[in-house]
Structure 1
């Protein structure tokens, strides 16, 4: 069915139907709903190219991905985030453009996207502290939303969705201390990135509040891979004085910790306690009915949905006030934590 046929069926002009489908305010809510229901019933999909010519929009959203492996977005978490955001894009009849570029060409890619007018807005991934991309995009004037934050100095000047990383890791560390652990390790992500820096802050605060000192031999920062979790844990476990508990910044790192324990003949939850961050991934579940890993949990797919919603709002009305959404992580008790071993 085309626009003309749908208009004739409804007894409305093509202009009115088009405006109703595109959310123009001069069309009444009753008419918009009538048109929407008819479009769904008869499986009518607007021609996005024609609609773009009428509205000045491309009906596409951009994601720019740097090639570097030393970057948060190479983590498979990105797939679940995009799945959540795509639910919103699909609902709003938006396409998604993925641009993969060398790290040194990222700024150029943003400028090219803006000059070509190939997307109506962007989602920024993996922000570093004081990330220059935010200032660049503000200068360019293209609507954007950040998944994460970029330090504290600019937080109110753009829209973002983030986890309360500092609070999550403070709670997790305090939980381990309450179990009697005083030698606690941290396997963090790259601490040039804001989420990892905030997790380190929370970890340190919990130790400081309980009168404990951070042991630099037990603290590591790297790309969040299974091998990193394995190698860093092996290095700690082979020391004369080793940690009795470890915090890991992702389940993938935690799987490496588990492999190291198997190699050393140790049992998680008895010989070494482990808390991971669980992004509630659809394809890498932390158990079925009962969690396997004790974890700080926050759904990255839900973060994707919220980012998608905020970006649609910014595209529809670029002058709308910036919105910030801070998601709290749950502390989920699983099988990988227990009292500190007696010595």
Structure 2
């Protein structure tokens, strides 16, 4: 659904800044709600928070459908994204907390990759399905499809997820209550490894889930990067399928590799370089083929960064604080993702997307020194 919102918003007469704010609203909402999610998961487990989160997402998507026929579409889109933000906080953090609860360290990377990939590819009216349904049927059909998928996923979550994340309910609750709330958060934020993971993740999401996802449909329309005769929404959906496929394939491959490797950090620097190169290539792309290649490289790099960082987080964070640690990780994702859309749309309109994507690529290279520190620290600790 993400790629079609900028085009739909512009067609409805919503300003570029307001479209950027709407795209960022779910992440801004999660910035406030993620800490609550983390505490809930550490105390009560993942099953019901995830299921309830999916139902809330369905309600948010219905607001998008109402926006198409409302006299105040911006208000409805904004409300829908805020509602969707609460639901997605419970879903994104809860799914990873479930993995941390059941996966031993030797298989943590592979299971993390599978769950992270499933969530990324299965988000309601996702990047590909939203664009294709909007192109072939209507924008409203895309939003209604999203609602139905959320409800189905909520039912599946009730039956498939573990009842408790972490220890049995009684012991987990006692351990949580024995640790002062502020002390638990301070303990996590005092760890240098986690601080670097959070910062690198914020920059990655600023680039990929912020700037790129908010501007790709507009880029396609501006440069006429149409695929198979489709319009901007459909073409953007297919182009993003390349990124999503590369990210999913790389994430799964990384998970398998890390489960058989003695290092969690070996892939970080090469993956970071791929993301930077991909953004520069996208800025120079003049046709759909070169844009696809650039998105392929970005997807491979982002998948290679995400899985090692989440796995390392699970290794370093105390078991009874996994929910909170993952909520901070998601908070950093949302901080970067919230800043990216408005920045990407405004910079693209002011300076052109070639320069904007090139600057993002250079910013990604700023991860190099912190990620190198993680690798050196891992070697020092054996």
The TM-score with structure 2 as length reference comes to 0.26
The structure that has the greater radius of gyration is 1
- Structure (1/2) with the larger helix percentage: 2
Q: Which has the higher strand share?
A: 1
Given the two structures, how large is their TM-score scaled by the length of structure 1? 0.28
Q: Which has the higher contact order (CA 8 A, sep 6+)?
A: 2
